[in-house]
């Protein structure tokens, strides 16, 4: 990533991207089928898993790991073929997120957010904007970060002639430090109208706090960012009428424009599930190699593999993870159908998606969020009961799975998802199509 414009993005220690140079040639061609895309993600996950615990402890900015994702082509999976993308549906994208998250939760999260933000213009932009940004992001193999934390009202947007100006602060952003372009979003001053814009990250007006020091997802670069006089031409205000300086009702005044929320909520659930699978696999490996049977139970066993409580726990975890994964796949097919039916040209197709239809899809996604949160927390904390006291050693690194899950599942209270789904089940109510619910 260039630093000629004075951005402070590279102000902290980072991993060396040259360590993954061999994969430029190994991954020189893109997969062509869903199964081959999944295999590519599995290969990347295995690479990341080898030193994930060490890298997490070192807490260096994952410049190298983003380079690996670029070499692999996974960032292009959803992009149009004419710009060098894989043209895969979201259902495949979610599987890729899960697989990468098995090996490294932080990188699974970053891939998930990137896939969401790289397709933002397809949901809230005009067809011309969608094409322009697809060509730039997919064709340039760019990594997209986002400063779109809805709880922060500190970021302001003002109109200034032919430009709009972003000014303020976001307490959280995702992947910005290691991104090529960043999605910004807020309400235009004096209105209640939301505006998304994609801007180059490497500019003096984007100043990162380098203050992400949370217990989990430590390699996601999710700290604060200060936005200082970032100017954007009106033509880059996604979905806005550049002549009237107002949201285009054909693009932003319809339920389709709010599909970003269920889409990213399903991103969350899939990297939760992926992290939990990674925890289960790591714990099984540890149990088979290191865990000893308990000698004082009155029914002496020769190995941990004979212990009733270990077998029972692993069986229970497997059942719940299989159920959560299957539910996530069903929700993904519903989202695929929605995008396939209502997106593309002409833009008028988007208007055919009703609030009810959007809400039905959202409730499938909410169901996954609840199941994934409960299951992932249970699995990542419970694996220590099957591995033993020595497994809590820092060098083993099993704690990173729980810390990753615990950190992100606080993103929005799952209790509200339970209530929302309860209303849907009890009285048939679906949420209003808004930006954040």
pLDDT(1) > 70: no
Q: Which strand (E) or helix (H) includes residue 207? A: strand 206-208
Least confident of 82-91, 129-138, 395-404, 428-437: 428-437
Report all structural domains of the chain as residue ranges with CATH numbers, in order of start.
17-142 (1.10.540.10), 146-245 (2.40.110.10), 255-427 (1.20.140.10)
User: What is 286-302 written as a DSSP string?
Assistant: HHHHT----TTSSS--S
Cα–chain-centroid distance for residue 360? 22
In whole angstroms, what is the distance from residue 180 CA to residue 200 CA? 6
pLDDT(3) > 70: no
Mean pLDDT of 94-113: 98
Mean pLDDT of 109-137: 97
Work out whether the CA dihedral 392, 398, 404, 406 comes out positive or negative: negative
Q: What is the pLDDT of residues 52-102, one digit of tens each?
A: 999 999 999 999 999 999 999 999 999 999 999 999 999 999 999 999 999
Mean pLDDT of 337-358: 94
pLDDT at 219: 97
pLDDT at 8: 82
pLDDT at 154: 79
pLDDT at 297: 85
pLDDT at 284: 98
Q: What is the pLDDT of residues 410-434, one digit of tens each?
A: 999 999 999 999 999 999 999 998 8
Q: What is the pLDDT of residues 18-32, one digit of tens each?
A: 999 999 999 999 999
In whole angstroms, what is the distance from residue 139 CA to residue 428 CA? 44
In whole angstroms, what is the distance from residue 69 CA to residue 175 CA? 13
pLDDT(109) > 80: yes
pLDDT at 437: 54
Q: What is the pLDDT of residues 186-224, one digit of tens each?
A: 999 999 999 999 999 999 999 999 999 999 999 999 999
In whole angstroms, what is the distance from residue 435 CA to residue 418 CA? 19
């Amino acid at each position: 990533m260039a630093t000629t414009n004075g951005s402070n993005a590279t102000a902290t220690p980072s991993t060396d991207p040259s360590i993954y140079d061999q994969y430029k040639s190994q991954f020189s061609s893109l997969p062509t089928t869903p199964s081959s895309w999944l295999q590519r993600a599995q290969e990347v996950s295995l690479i990341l898993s080898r030193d994930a615990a060490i890298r997490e402890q070192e807490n260096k900015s994952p410049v190298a790991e983003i380079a690996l994702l670029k070499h692999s082509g996974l960032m292009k999976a959803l992009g149009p073929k004419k710009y060098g993308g894989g043209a895969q549906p979201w259902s495949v994208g979610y599987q890729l997120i899960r697989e990468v998250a098995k090996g490294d939760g932080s990188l699974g999260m970053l891939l998930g957010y990137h896939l969401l933000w790289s397709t933002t213009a397809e949901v809230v932009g005009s067809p011309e904007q969608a094409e322009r940004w697809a060509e730039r992001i997919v064709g340039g193999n760019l990594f997209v970060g986002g400063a779109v934390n809805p709880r922060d009202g500190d970021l302001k947007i003002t109109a200034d002639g032919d430009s709009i100006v972003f000014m303020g602060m976001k307490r959280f952003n995702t992947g910005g430090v290691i991104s090529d372009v960043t999605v910004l979003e807020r309400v235009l001053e004096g209105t209640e109208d939301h505006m998304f814009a994609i801007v180059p990250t490497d500019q003096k007006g984007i100043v990162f706090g380098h203050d992400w020091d949370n217990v989990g997802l430590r390699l996601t670069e999710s700290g604060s960012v200060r936005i200082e006089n970032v100017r954007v031409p009106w033509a880059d205000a996604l979905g806005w009428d550049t002549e009237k300086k107002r949201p285009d009702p054909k693009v932003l005044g319809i339920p389709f424009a709010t599909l970003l929320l269920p889409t990213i909520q399903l991103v969350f659930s899939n990297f939760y599930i992926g992290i939990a699978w990674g925890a289960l696999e790591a714990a099984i490996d540890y149990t088979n190699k290191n865990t000893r049977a308990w000698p004082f139970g009155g029914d002496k066993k020769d190995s941990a593999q004979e212990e009733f409580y270990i077998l029972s726990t692993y069986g229970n975890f497997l059942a719940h993870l299989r159920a959560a994964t299957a539910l996530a796949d069903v929700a993904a097919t519903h989202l695929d159908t929605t995008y396939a039916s209502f997106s593309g040209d002409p833009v008028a197709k988007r208007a055919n998606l009703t609030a009810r239809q959007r809400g039905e899809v959202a409730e499938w996604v909410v169901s996954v969020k609840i199941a994934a949160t409960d299951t992932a927390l249970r699995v990542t904390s419970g694996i220590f009961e099957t591995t033993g006291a020595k497994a809590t050693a820092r060098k083993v690194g099993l704690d990173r799975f729980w810390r990753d899950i615990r950190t992100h599942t606080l993103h929005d209270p799952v209790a509200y998802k339970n209530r929302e789904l309860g209303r849907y089940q009890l009285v048939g109510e679906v949420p209003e199509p808004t930006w954040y619910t």
